[in-house]
């Protein structure tokens, strides 16, 4: 891979094949975007272009972009939002974190709260965790009957097809970090007073279930990476590389959507402003 | 006023007195922040500090900040959001535009949709227009009985008092532009193809009601500028000055709130990460 890979190169490098063995997928990919300075420069450029294209998407107001961020604890979902979308700002961008469902959410099917959070036309929606928790934590911790969880993969594929049919482009990123990297990041939350608020003792319980989670992720990737909404597995041990990769894909996706300022049905000279 | 006024100076300069005559309030204030380069530098610094403090507010998760932006068409509400909060990004910041109410919203009292949009603890909420439309357009265009509108001023003051009592700091900015400046900006929407999507012929109807709107704004300022949620009238003919002023007040407000990373009830050495 050369020093400044194109968006297509990057995308090809992280695309998901039919069968994924996460243990064999490099979480660093030093070959991809080897130079940190250049990657950061590229990120800044991409973020600026994303900002411009989001403005057009907002003006066009006929389609939406949904960015799904999945990954185990400390994999960097919040950090990705900040790095890739801070330039875009809060206007026309809505971040939805999916935590433990509320009583009201539990009183509905698991896609109910997700559908409500789908971005409106003109918007970029970012899911920090998502409906995929319903085949991840739900599976590993047996939060639903096994046959119900088994059925969800197909339901999710159908749901995303429905969104795509109705003008929502769906990008799905799995942030892939190593077991060692997670250890470092958890330790950092203990050691750094400014990060202690992020500490959650239950993360340790999940860490003990590492292999179960990796298996659940593999099944998720295999069962729900569709032509209309493929998964991308992002090497995420290096935060700067993760950010540059995701920004590159988001930018290329928006460029392909090519949003336009809407045509107007009137002539400027029709109006006189007194 | 000196070349780099303090946040307190700026705030004092735009604070609202007991009786406001908008026609006598300068929409440019060249005396305040006279130097554009310096104002832009100050804005960049303030935006960076706002970003840092928002991160703490998010971590603290006990209080919220609500920023209300009001102003006539083209006064620069969207532009303010971009300029002041792009650095902060979409994580923990929610922008709510209030347009024409939906059927469901109309089936409730006018504060119902507003209360739903109040930022959750830890968040900054930005209202692009707000409940104040219910004493502005509603009054000018007679969208509700006169006695009901008259009652709203007190109801709004009480509602905001309720929010403040419950940990929401309320900042209210009226973006004040001149009639000539609005003319220029409307003409710009006709002339610039990238801005035509913002054109709304009904803005011209509102422009014809200029004096009625100014009177409605004056009454609003007089009746709802309270000690717990004062109005600030921002000279907004110069976009860069408007942005710098608002960023300065937002920064000073967050500094006074002084959010803290929450204390933890455990000792880091209690945990061993395997």
| Chain B CB within 8 Å of residue A267 CB | no
Min Cα distance B203 → chain A (Å) is 10
Partner-chain contact A199 B264, CB within 8 Å: yes
The dihedral sign for the CA sequence A192, A195, A197, A202: negative
| Chain A CB within 8 Å of residue B183 CB | yes
Length of chain A (residues):
274
Instruction: Give the mean pLDDT of chain B.
Output: 94
> Which residue on chain A is closest to B80 by alpha carbon?
A91
Q: Which pLDDT does position B18 carry in this prediction?
A: 65
Partner-chain contact A199 B88, CB within 8 Å: no
The number of folded domains in chain A is 1
Partner-chain contact B190 A268, CB within 8 Å: yes
Partner-chain contact A261 B86, CB within 8 Å: no
Across chain B, how many H-helices and E-strands are there? 11, 5
- Whether B39 is in a domain gets the answer yes
Query: What residues make up the domain containing B85?
Result: 7-260
Min Cα distance B91 → chain A (Å) is 6
Q: pLDDT, tens digit, for every residue of B133-161? A: 999 999 999 999 999 999 999 999 999 99
Over residues A195-221, mean pLDDT: 95
Q: pLDDT, tens digit, for every residue of A86-127? A: 888 899 999 999 999 999 999 999 999 999 999 999 999 999
Lateral strand order in the sheet of B64-70 = B93-97, B124-128, B64-70, B168-176, B231-235
Partner-chain contact A186 B273, CB within 8 Å: yes
| Chain A CB within 8 Å of residue B145 CB | no
Q: pLDDT, tens digit, for every residue of A36-83? A: 999 999 999 999 999 999 999 999 999 999 999 999 999 999 999 999
Partner-chain contact A90 B78, CB within 8 Å: no
Residues 6+ apart with CB under 8 A from A61: A121, A122, A262, B197
Over residues B115-136, mean pLDDT: 98
Angstrom distance (rounded) from CA B246 to CA B180: 22
- Whether B267 is in a domain gets the answer no
Angstrom distance (rounded) from CA B151 to CA B231: 19
Q: Look up residue B166 and give its two tokens.
A: 């419950």
Q: Which pLDDT does position B243 carry in this prediction?
A: 97
- Whether B172 is in a domain gets the answer yes
What is the predicted ipTM?
Answer: 0.85
Closest C-alpha to B89, from A254, A88, A51: A88
- Whether B269 is in a domain gets the answer no
**pLDDT category of residue A17 using cuts at 50, 70 and 90:** low
> Which residue on chain B is closest to A48 by alpha carbon?
B86
Angstrom distance (rounded) from CA B127 to CA B136: 15
Question: What percentage of chain A reaches a pLDDT higher than 70?
Answer: 98
Q: Look up residue B74 and give its two tokens.
A: 């083209």
The answer on pLDDT for A2 being more than 50 is no
- Whether B268 is in a domain gets the answer no
Q: pLDDT, tens digit, for every residue of B247-261? A: 999 999 999 999 999
Angstrom distance (rounded) from CA B21 to CA B218: 7
Q: pLDDT, tens digit, for every residue of B23-77? A: 999 999 999 999 999 999 999 999 999 999 999 999 999 999 999 999 999 999 9
| Chain A CB within 8 Å of residue B204 CB | yes
- Whether B18 is in a domain gets the answer yes
> Which residue on chain A is closest to B268 by alpha carbon?
A190
Angstrom distance (rounded) from CA B262 to CA B59: 7
| Contact in structure between B178 and B27 (CB atoms under 8 Å) | yes
- Whether B116 is in a domain gets the answer yes
Interface test with A, best of B56, B91, B268 (most A CBs within 10 A): B91
> Which residue on chain A is closest to B81 by alpha carbon?
A91
| Chain A CB within 8 Å of residue B210 CB | no
Over residues B168-188, mean pLDDT: 97
Angstrom distance (rounded) from CA B228 to CA B220: 15
Q: Distance between terminal CA atoms of chain B?
A: 61
- Whether B270 is in a domain gets the answer no
Contacts of B199 in chain A (CB under 8 A): 264, 266
**pLDDT category of residue A16 using cuts at 50, 70 and 90:** confident
Give A241-255 as a 3 state SS string: HHHHHHHHHHHHHHH
CATH number for the domain harbouring residue B148: 3.40.50.300
- SS3 state of residue B105: helix
């Amino acid at each position: 891979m050369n020093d400044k890979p194109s968006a297509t190169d990057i995308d090809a490098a992280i695309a998901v094949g039919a069968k994924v063995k996460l243990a064999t997928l490099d979480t660093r990919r030093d070959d991809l975007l080897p130079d940190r300075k250049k990657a950061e420069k590229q990120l800044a450029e991409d973020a600026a272009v994303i900002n411009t294209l989001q403005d057009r998407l907002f003006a066009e107001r006929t389609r939406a972009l949904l960015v799904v961020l999945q990954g185990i604890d400390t994999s960097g979902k919040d950090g990705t939002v900040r790095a890739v979308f801070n330039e875009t700002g809060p206007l026309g961008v809505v971040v939805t974190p999916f935590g433990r469902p509320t009583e009201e959410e539990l009183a509905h099917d698991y896609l109910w709260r997700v559908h409500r959070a789908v971005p409106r036309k003109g918007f970029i929606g970012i899911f920090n965790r998502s409906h995929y928790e319903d085949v991840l934590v739900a599976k590993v911790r047996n939060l639903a009957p096994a046959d119900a969880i088994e059925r969800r993969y197909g339901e999710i594929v159908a749901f995303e097809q429905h969104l795509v049919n109705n003008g929502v482009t769906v990008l799905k990123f799995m942030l892939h970090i190593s077991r060692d990297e997670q250890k470092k990041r958890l330790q950092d939350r203990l050691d750094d007073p400014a990060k202690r608020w992020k500490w959650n003792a239950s993360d340790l319980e999940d860490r003990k279930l590492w292999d179960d989670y990796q298996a659940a992720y593999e099944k998720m990737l295999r069962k729900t990476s569709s032509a209309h909404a493929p998964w991308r597995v992002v090497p995420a041990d290096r935060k700067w590389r993760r950010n540059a990769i995701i920004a590159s894909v988001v930018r290329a996706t928006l460029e392909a959507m090519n949003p336009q300022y809407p045509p107007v049905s009137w002539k400027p000279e029709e109006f006189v402003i007194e």
